[in-house]
Amino acid sequence: MSMEKLHVRVGGMHCSFCTETIRKGLGRMEGVSDVNVSLAHEEALIQFDAAKRDPAELLKALRDLGFTTADPKKARTYEEEEAELRREKDRLVLTGALSWIAFLAMALMWLGRPHPWTPWLMMGLALVAVFGPGLYILRMAVGSARRGILNQHVLMEFAAFAGLAGGFIGFFSAAFPAPDFFGVAVFVTAYHILSGYVSLLVRTKASQAVRKLLSLQPATARVVRGGREEEVPVEDISPGEIVRVRPGEHVPVDGAVAEGYSTVDESLVTGEPIPKEKGPGQEVIGGSLNHHGSLLVRVSRVGEESFLRQVARNIEEARALKPGILLLVERILLYFVPGVLAFAAGAFAFWAVGAWLIWGAPDPARAGFAALAVLVMGYPCALGMATPLALIRAGGEAALRGILLRSGEAIQAFKDVSVFVFDKTGTLTEGKPSVTEIVPLGGRSPQEILRAAASLENASEHPLAGAIVARAKEEGVDPLPCEDFKALPGRGVRGTVAGRRALVGTLRFLAEEGVEVAEAQRAAEGFEAKGLTVVALAEGREIAGLLCLSDRIKGDAKETIERFRKMGLRTLMLTGDNRRTAERVGAELGIEEVLSQVLPQEKSGKVREIQSRGNRVAFVGDGINDAPALMQADVGLAIGAGTDIAIESADIVLVREGTRAVHESFLIAKRSYRKTVQNLTLAFAFNGVGVPLATTGLVEPVWAMIAMAASVGAVLLNSFGGRLLPRAEEKARRSESPEEAAAQGAAGIPASPGARTLVFTVKGMH
């Protein structure tokens, strides 16, 4: 088989019914082996046999189902998204106006003041509603029904056309109240459009993940050709050519350093927060950030073989292989729609044939009335709003705590999560180097060692130098003036502080400068075994002390891991960092399972491996190297301070710093799902009673309209009543540390539902 994949952007999806329609509609076509649809990203990935099926046929099938198609690499603009919202809003406003006119006309009739033209007015309103703003629903229903798919659109059209049929019959038979039947057609169309608009408001817009990822790689590069530097497009560069990378620039290609020294931030690849020293012969990765030195890089990989292109492919693959979630409402509809049709057919058969067998005379009028009444009562108007309204409520509660929920699917999947997988750098840790230990070796105090080191490093641009200076500021230690300062890339710095020659750098550098390092070497090996980075301070020819740097663990990380453990949930850490560092962090946090030195393309595979054992997996990360795993996980949670690519790949975004929000989002999702179940129960309760009663042929259409209003009202009241977080969690949230409260306030999030923000305009600042 010549299997190929078609990746397409799909427009016009409003809810999970649409995604299931696409899966079934395309999945039943010959030659199609797999169909994956993402509502949040508005995309479909179709695997098919090119010998049996042409891509154009697949695109036509999507359009026949009522959807639009586009190139997924061309991200929709903000204006296009707003235009879609306006279009749906215009439909809702028009059907809303038609509904109000219909309601007023029927109210006059019920009050005993009918107008002779009321049936004709109601007929006009019904035809305009069904074939005007509701025409797109009819097209989708027809496309679904032709392929044997019974979804909410089909059920709605059965109810609308039952209303039209009953109304037309009413012109000839007094047993059929024409205005009431026409009114049903208007109201079910309006409610269906309202459901679609609510879903559109709360779902996530198109994903721009791959486009944002590839934008990290510069579009042009400075290539050295014929002794001159030329700026050329990256796609025109060939392996073996030399590229210049200046300080502060992103590396445009994968390659090896041919000349120069610098520190390069490769945290997007390895997850290690401490930048790497790069010199001749050492590899650099496209998209990583060059710090202070100028580099000449010999190109090794370009185009589809480059690192960022590989990560982009991994994201697309993860999206295709992400486990599908059959929403609760879809499982209900699998039985509900055939059930309604069966009741309608049974009611007609009973009064047309059964009545003849029992009483000796058929009752065709009652048979038709009963069948139409069943179809009218069978449409659950509140169904389409049950999940979106629960999501709106959960989203509002979560937003107050710095948690952004992006899809209803994430809420349903989250409640079943049994394994939480955490990235290390930037997720469980702060993501930047910090001085964690100061070890005196020559009789000097820790404060004196810190002052001398900060005095030297104050003039350095190295990231580790910044960490030492930052620690001095925290301790209130003022650096002294430094003379004769000199930085030696990849080794350390030297200078004169308070009249004494001083050195800060690696022990190897100090040994090369004639300093005795044997005693310090033994001490350093113990710290390095724990995954710490060690730099030494020497004054004269003696070691004064060691400074140990590491990525500091976030304040609430241990508490979060402990909470999940008490709930019986499994936690593990997945990181690209080295084994010693990963195991040290895991031990401090109480995480027993630690997977280290895992590359981005391997992370999603590790998540799939856990999923293959029957686990629902939540992945928490913040970096580019986490994006494939965030996409692959059943629920991806991105730290909002992370990269755009991670945020775009996630189902839930945590705006607030710290990990407590992971636990809070889990609790909110579980209780929001409970709200969804309650909403669906209420939505179907009226239909569950009304449909069997309608088979008697005694239920007037007006009762269907009353049931519609009652079910929608009940769902609204239930969605916004009660609390989603337990009182204990609310109390803990309000008593969070001042640091967390400050970080949250900086993000513009109220510390609690009752908090207020006061904004000043301050003049006179210079």
Cα distances (Å, whole numbers) of residue 566 to 258, 569, 640: 53, 7, 26
Q: How many CB atoms lie within 10 A of CB 508?
A: 13
Which pairing describes strands 3-11 and 68-70: parallel, antiparallel, or unpaired?
antiparallel
Q: What is the three-class DSSP state of 184?
A: helix
Decide if 64 is catalytic: no
Extended strands (E) in 565-706: 570-574, 593-595, 617-621, 635-639, 652-654
Give the residue from 417, 412, 418 showing the smallest Cα distance to 394.
412
User: How far is C-alpha 728 from the chain's CA centre?
Assistant: 28
Q: What is the three-class DSSP state of 448?
A: helix
Cα distances (Å, whole numbers) of residue 618 to 125, 424, 665: 49, 14, 11
Catalytic residue among 180, 254, 265, 423: 423
Largest interatomic CA distance in the chain: 120
Give the residue from 390, 381, 385, 384 showing the smallest Cα distance to 690.
381
On whether the CB atoms of residues 682 and 380 are closer than 8 A, the answer is no
DSSP bridge pairs for 184: none
CA atoms within 13 A on the CB side of 508: 3
Assign residue 419 a region (left: φ > 0; alpha: ψ between -120 and 50; beta: otherwise).
beta
User: How far is C-alpha 157 from the chain's CA centre?
Assistant: 33
Q: Which residue's structure tokens are 């030659």?
A: 31
What amino acid occupies position 683?
A
Distance CA 692, CA 540 (A): 95
User: How far is C-alpha 587 from the chain's CA centre?
Assistant: 30
Cα distances (Å, whole numbers) of residue 168 to 16, 103, 120: 34, 19, 10
Question: Which strand (E) or helix (H) includes residue 704?
Answer: helix 701-719
Question: In 260-419, which ranges are continuous DSSP H helix?
Answer: 267-270, 307-321, 328-349, 355-359, 364-378, 383-399, 408-414
Q: What is the three-class DSSP state of 242?
A: strand
Residues 6+ apart with CB under 8 A from 17: 151, 152, 153, 329, 330, 333, 384
Distance CA 589, CA 178 (A): 70
The Cα angle at residue 754 between residues 752 and 760, in degrees rounded to 5:
90
Distance CA 595, CA 263 (A): 26
525-556 CB burial, b ≥16 within 10 A, e <16: eebeeebbbbbbbbbeeebbbbbbbbbbbbbb
Residues 6+ apart with CB under 8 A from 742: none
On whether the CB atoms of residues 272 and 305 are closer than 8 A, the answer is no
First to last CA, the chain: 71
Assign residue 423 a region (left: φ > 0; alpha: ψ between -120 and 50; beta: otherwise).
beta
What amino acid occupies position 162?
A
Q: Is 570 exposed, middle or buried (0-12, 13-18, 19+ CB in 10 A)?
A: middle
Q: Which residue's structure tokens are 């005007």?
A: 132
Cite the active site residues: 423
